[in-house]
Amino acid sequence: MRTLLVVLADDLSTTAGTLALYAGRGVRTVVHSQNEDVRKDAERLGAHAETADPYDLIEEYRPQVVVCDHNGPLRATKLAVYRTGIPDKFYLTATEGATVVEGASGVQEHYYRDLDRTNAPLPETDLFAGLSEKD
């Protein structure tokens, strides 16, 4: 099952459209945040909200794609991505970047690709670019 893990701190405004888009496409969308309001908002968008450590979430859900907000627990998330070797792609939210997703609300959200094991060409408009439908 395609899975997207999004790690956030106190705000989901930089990823709300992306969350709604992929949840609406049937992608299992998991949001990590310690902030209760963020978790409630994520669930309203169709995501499953968690408070567990990013490493544990990667081990449990085995996401192909992980996104971390620049205000989120970046170091812990990046270590988990690289140490587990599970995600094929890792993105950071950005004000501009080579990956631009038009979210469900029509607002463009920008990402910086930190890791890509698929060798998908840039620029991208889909966080799952380069992954087969089976992934």
Contacts with 83 (C-beta within 8 Å, 6 or more apart), sequence order? 55
pTM of the full predicted structure?
A: 0.94
As a whole number of angstroms, the longest Cα–Cα distance in the chain is: 37
Give the tokens for residue 32.
């990590």
Contacts with 37 (C-beta within 8 Å, 6 or more apart), sequence order? none
3-state per-residue secondary structure call for 17-43 = HHHHHHHHCCCEEEEECCCHHHHHHHH
- Give the model confidence (pLDDT) of 34-70 as tens digits: 999 999 999 999 999 999 999 999 999 999 999 999 7
Q: What is the mean pLDDT of the chain?
A: 93
| Mean pLDDT confidence for 22-38 | 96
Q: What structural domains and CATH numbers belong to the chain?
A: 3-116 (3.40.50.150)
Confidence of residue 134 (pLDDT cuts 50, 70, 90): low
